[in-house]
Amino acid sequence: MAGGKPTRVAGAFTTAFSPSRKGTLDENGWTKTMEIRDELSQLLNEFYPGQKIPSERVLSERFGIARMTLRHAIETFILEGRLERRPGSGTYISNQCYSLAARCQSFSSEMKSQGLEPGNKLLFSKVVSADKVSSGKLRIPLNAKILKFSRLRFGGDFPMAYQTTTIPTTYIGLIQDTELEGSLEDLLKNKFGISITTSQTEISVELSDQRVSKLLNLVSSTPCLVKETIDTDSRSRSIMWNKTWYNAERFKIRFDAPCQIRESKNPAAS
């Protein structure tokens, strides 16, 4: 491996080291701390947000340097917000917090608005008969045919959310599994001429079960923000019911709502 790039192997890592690390400036003008910082930066790229990095003792042994030198390099990343210390626990990759809009906005739009490329992995897809819950949510007859599927949703390379979706088959035609890996809004509009005009949204908090925890790389029973939406078209038909689990440590809820302006006879009182 050239250039000291780290490689993760079965939960461990190895690093190719530069042959010389003297305290004076090297030929490129880098101090010892900055040289370590460069290699440490490459190592940090191998970890996910919220993941704990190895201890200072382990890292100093791997890099062949004093712990104080390593600590100086780590402190620079903490000041930049890339790392965070958790007293009594260790040092972690910082959890970047993303906004979750409490309004009509698809997951794909949310990710794009924050500079992330949305992605999907289809986990399950099947046509079934609507039970009482589904028929009530979508305002369709009991036992009507519905398409149910679940997806793991990504922002860039990271799993951001787990989502289940239900759509009455009477509103759509045949859908291939590969089509469910893209934007549902685009699919409904381009293939079936259905445009979502309103969305009823409820946001709650639930503890992650074993399945959600595994998919989102969480500890079991981690608090999750759950966004439940029922999307309606221009004909007032309930087209789609979504339920999406987000890691509560990585998302915050954003409300965009107009303020009602009250007229006042006394301008000074406003």
Looking at residue 34, its pLDDT comes to 73
How far apart (Å, rounded) are the C-alpha atoms in residues 57 and 79? 21
How far apart (Å, rounded) are the C-alpha atoms in residues 231 and 253? 19
> Across the strands, what pairs with 85?
91
Looking at residue 49, its pLDDT comes to 72
* Residue among 128, 161, 127 at smallest CA distance from 242: 161
Instruction: Give the model confidence (pLDDT) of 14-70 as tens digits.
Output: 333 333 343 344 444 346 777 788 888 888 878 877 788 999 999 999 888 888 888
Phi, psi (degrees; rounded to nearest 5) at 56: -60, -40
Domains of the chain: 7-93 (1.10.10.10), 98-254 (3.40.1410.10)
Q: Is the separation of the CB atoms in 250 and 218 below 8 Å? A: no
Sign of CA dihedral 75, 60, 219, 226: positive
* Residue among 90, 39, 91, 92 at smallest CA distance from 64: 39
User: Helix, strand, coil proportions of the chain in percent (round to 5)?
Assistant: 30, 35, 40
How far apart (Å, rounded) are the C-alpha atoms in residues 148 and 164? 7
Count of Cβ atoms closer than 10 Å to residue 23 Cβ: 8
How far apart (Å, rounded) are the C-alpha atoms in residues 270 and 257? 20
Looking at residue 177, its pLDDT comes to 93
**Would you say the pTM of this structure is higher than 0.75?**
no
Q: Is the separation of the CB atoms in 195 and 184 below 8 Å? A: no
Q: Is the separation of the CB atoms in 30 and 39 below 8 Å? A: no
Looking at residue 197, its pLDDT comes to 92
Looking at residue 207, its pLDDT comes to 93
Q: Is the separation of the CB atoms in 113 and 126 below 8 Å? A: no
> Across the strands, what pairs with 128?
146
Q: Is the separation of the CB atoms in 59 and 44 below 8 Å? A: no
Q: What DSSP line would sit under 206-233, residue for residue?
A: EE--HHHHHHTT--TT-EEEEEEEEEEE
Q: In the chain, which stretches have pLDDT less than 70? A: 1-31, 95-105, 113-114, 252-270
Starting at the earlier edge strand, list the strands of the sheet with 145-155: 118-129, 145-155, 158-168, 238-247, 223-233, 196-207
Looking at residue 84, its pLDDT comes to 85
Looking at residue 265, its pLDDT comes to 56
Which residue reads 């709650």 in tokens?
204
